């Protein structure tokens, strides 16, 4: 109990560490929510080159303007260099309506409307291309149906001729395609892993570096098991209100909530335990707090990118897959995505739960072994110090 009280006292006396662990997640949660809150990229700038300037081309302009996803930034009569004009006008896309557009439609010559999308940013490119396709597709359907009606078909017959079968697309799980619902909860977890690893990086390495590990801990207990559990205790305790605050932010910002609080608690607990044991393992391995912090940050920095949340793990190089599967963030996000977005049960995400459990066991055993090795080194150092004093 003395060592537990000492550990909590050290944790709370380190104002920098306390601010990183408590304040940083809250600040990041608010900041990231402000970034993604709209959920969709709207009013993306589009340039239209209208070479026809006819009633039909004007109708296309109106339909594009009515689409909330895009905004016509400028209408040009001609463009000699499409890419240069897109860069100059900072356009996400350029729509080129050809000369004699209306005449060709009326004569069934099927004119070609060119759409150039700026795919530097794939997210905005997908949004803008989808919006343009919707507007142009609606116009094309209407033009085709009118052409068939001019040939003597009734409205119902023309519609059936144009669309011989119906296509029904049903969106399930995040039906509105809200990017905030997809990205923000995951980013909170990334922040949580970062602050946990930062806290654990200095847990043992800092004391070894400042020669307080032997006097403060080894002189009181030789148990590596007790030392590991003492070191993770403050983070475990403080993670409870932190996870609760994150859960509260879901309500505050109207983000999706996991299907069951119990499932969320179990998964979060396993994630926190796995991350803390990983931190202790690295901290015990390296006797320098700065090096331990650097190693853990190097491990966790690409964690979100390689977690499989936004890009499938099977499409990555094999060594990257090994690294991804060794980090607690990967199985957590995989399970969290199913629990949060799809209403899955713990049974349905059992492989991810098992992966987290394996990580916990592996990192815990390695932590105990390394801490035991560190204790023996400290004992040896203390004996040499005592012998040196006795010689004097």
Residue-wise DSSP of 147-192: HHHHTT--HHHHHHHH-SS-------SSTT--HHHHHHHHHHHHHH
Helix or strand (DSSP H, E) at 10: helix 2-13
Is residue 91 within 8 Å of 49, Cβ to Cβ?
Answer: no
Mean pLDDT of 182-209: 85
Look at residue 165 and tell me whether its pLDDT is greater than 60.
no
Residue 220 in tokens:
């009181």
Phi-psi region of 183 (alpha: psi -120 to 50; beta: other; left: phi over 0): alpha
Cα(157)–Cα(135) distance, rounded to whole angstroms? 23
Task: With cut-offs at 50, 70 and 90, classify the pLDDT of residue 42.
Answer: confident
Look at residue 171 and tell me whether its pLDDT is greater than 80.
no
Residue 123 confidence (pLDDT): 79
Is residue 85 within 8 Å of 47, Cβ to Cβ?
Answer: yes
Mean pLDDT of 249-276: 85
Is residue 236 within 8 Å of 253, Cβ to Cβ?
Answer: no
Look at residue 32 and tell me whether its pLDDT is greater than 60.
yes
372 vs 248, which has greater pLDDT? 372
Range(s) of the chain covered by CATH 3.40.1710.10: 44-162
Task: With cut-offs at 50, 70 and 90, classify the pLDDT of residue 164.
Answer: low
User: Mean pLDDT over all residues of the chain?
Assistant: 85
Residue 274 confidence (pLDDT): 95
Look at residue 157 and tell me whether its pLDDT is greater than 70.
no
Report the range of poorest mean pLDDT among 178-182, 191-195, 334-338, 361-365: 178-182
For residue 61, what are the CA distances in angstroms to 92, 153, 188? 16, 28, 41
CATH of 44-162, one of 3.40.1710.10, 3.40.50.10440, 3.40.50.150, 3.30.460.80: 3.40.1710.10
Look at residue 40 and tell me whether its pLDDT is greater than 90.
no
């Amino acid at each position: 109990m003395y060592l537990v009280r000492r550990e909590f006292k050290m944790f709370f006396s380190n104002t920098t560490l306390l601010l990183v662990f408590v304040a940083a997640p809250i600040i990041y949660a608010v900041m990231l929510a402000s970034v993604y809150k709209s959920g969709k990229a709207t009013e993306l700038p589009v340039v239209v080159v209208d070479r026809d300037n006819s009633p039909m081309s004007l109708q296309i302009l109106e339909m594009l303007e009515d689409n909330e996803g895009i905004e016509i930034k400028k209408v040009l009569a001609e463009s000699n260099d499409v890419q240069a004009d897109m860069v100059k006008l900072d356009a996400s896309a350029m729509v080129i309506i050809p000369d004699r557009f209306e005449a060709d439609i009326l004569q069934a010559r099927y004119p070609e409307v060119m759409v150039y999308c700026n795919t530097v940013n794939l997210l905005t490119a997908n949004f803008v291309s989808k919006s343009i396709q919707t507007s142009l597709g609606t116009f094309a359907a209407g033009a085709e149906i009118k052409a068939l009606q001019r040939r003597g078909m009734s409205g119902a017959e023309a519609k059936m001729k144009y669309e011989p079968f119906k296509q029904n697309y049903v969106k399930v799980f995040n039906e509105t395609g809200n990017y905030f619902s997809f990205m923000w909860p995951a980013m909170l977890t990334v922040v949580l892993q970062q602050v946990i690893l930062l806290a654990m990086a200095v847990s043992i390495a800092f004391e070894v570096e400042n020669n307080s590990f032997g006097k403060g801990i080894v002189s009181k207990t030789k148990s590596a098991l007790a030392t590991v559990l003492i070191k993770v205790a403050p983070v475990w305790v403080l993670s409870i209100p932190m996870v609760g605050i994150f859960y509260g932010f879901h309500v505050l910002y109207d983000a999706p909530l996991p299907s069951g609080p119990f499932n969320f608690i179990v998964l979060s607990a396993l994630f926190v335990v796995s991350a803390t044991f990983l931190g202790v393992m690295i901290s015990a391995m390296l006797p320098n707090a700065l090096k331990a912090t650097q190693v853990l940050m190097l491990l966790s920095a690409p964690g979100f990118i390689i977690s499989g949340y936004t890009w499938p793990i099977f499409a990555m190089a094999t060594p990257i897959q090994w690294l991804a599967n060794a980090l607690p963030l990967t199985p957590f996000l995989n399970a969290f995505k199913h629990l949060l977005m799809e209403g899955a049960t713990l049974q349905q995400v059992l492989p991810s739960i098992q992966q987290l459990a394996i990580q916990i066991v592996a990192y815990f055993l390695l932590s105990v072994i390394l801490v035991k090795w560190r204790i023996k080194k400290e004992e040896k150092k203390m004996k040499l110090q005592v012998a040196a004093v006795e010689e004097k």
